[in-house]
Structure 1
Amino acid sequence: MTHIFRYKTIASFMAALMAVTMSSCSDEEYSTEMMLSDIVTVTSVGNDTRFEFQRYDDSPLIKLTAGNVDLPEKIVNNRVLLRYYPESGEPYTSGAVKVVGLTLINNDTTRIRPIEKYNWTATPVYLNSIWRTGNYLNLRMKVEYSEKPRQFGLVVDSLTLKNPQPEVYLVHDKQGQPENYMMETYASFDMTNLWSLPTCQSIKVHVNDTNLKKDIYIFTKKQ
């Protein structure tokens, strides 16, 4: 598995993005409105930056347009945590928005591998929430900060791929790095290569977690 956390890179890029967006939005104009926060996909940048997302499960696709943010081309197709106000005042409807903050999060696709190749329980996470939006599996959690990259990803056990309920594992391994402080992070995994299979009726996700009282989560396809 090649996907790994690189916290220093993410942190510096995140700070630059937030500086761009925050400087271009009035502090007072939307102070009485409810600010929304969602994980979205950046679909285009330019005069109007465009985002799209599903709020939960298989809910309708929402498309947002923002004219007050200038982002680099390399962020297109990335998942980000977006904080914004809808200009219409109507939450969770397609249309124009004012962006007040944008954070790059950990992006990846599900990897199809034999799970026996990974020590997936090596380093637990402190899971706050896990949810599906369309073909994406999203996580909000705390992990230990580290200066060096680590092994992190969502792995589908290839031996179960054709089962009605494939087994999926959150792999997290600091690989011997020393203890450090906890930091909050988000991750969003594109699992189209799994969820789109006609044999897949649901998935069983395993998480080595120190917070919630369960370590298995079932997500079922809409029939």
Structure 2
Amino acid sequence: MKPSNRKLAIISATGAVAVLSVVALVLPIGVASSQQPPMMDHTMPGHGQMQGMMQQRHQEMMQMHGQGTMQMAMGTPTMPGQDAFGAIQEIVRMLEADPETDWSKIDLEALRQHLIDMNEVTLKADAAATPIEGGLEITVTGEGRTFAAIQRMVPAHAEELNQMNGWSAKTEALPDGVRLTVTSNSTREVAHIRGLGFIGLLVSGSHHQPHHLAMAKKEMPHQH
């Protein structure tokens, strides 16, 4: 063999060995990578469908909850339909919830009559208010049942006003009603009294509700 041909053969053999070495290195890497589990692609259609189904299920559950709440509300009315009826109903529920209630001493009719008096004085009485030094003077008048309710309620309530805010309250009987006078030594309270007026003074304090329960139990020394 000529020297030039021998040199060419050596070069060719060397190149072939190099190529085979590279292939041997690359092939295991490709095989290993092909055996690894595929990465989760959150953009895949299956993932999007799952999210959509979950959202739809959540909306359905919320809708069912709303319908259930509405049905409960529709099936269980809460308004008594009449204020006095509701007030007496509240007292009855309290009495029934108390295991120590002595039903032989309960007088719900007395409470009903008192609520009628409240209605007469609140809605039917005439109240003429006149500012005076230190407070307010109110002439409360009416006829028939209204007159009787005024006589029962206003003097008794004046006793409660006497215990509030440093006020001084007194009443004077009139042929057709009662004169209520409420005063204070405080400039601020004078403005308070005048701002409240008759109905504001009548509803002042938190004794009305406890009195209703005490009245039903015959535990009140006076009823107003």
Scaled to the shorter chain, the TM-score interval is under 0.3
**What is the TM-score when the length of structure 2 is the normalising length?**
0.24
Give 1 or 2: higher strand fraction.
1
Q: Relative contact order: is structure 1 or structure 2 higher (C-alpha 8 Å, sep ≥ 6)?
A: 1
The normalised TM-score by structure 1 is: 0.24
* Structure with higher helix content: 2
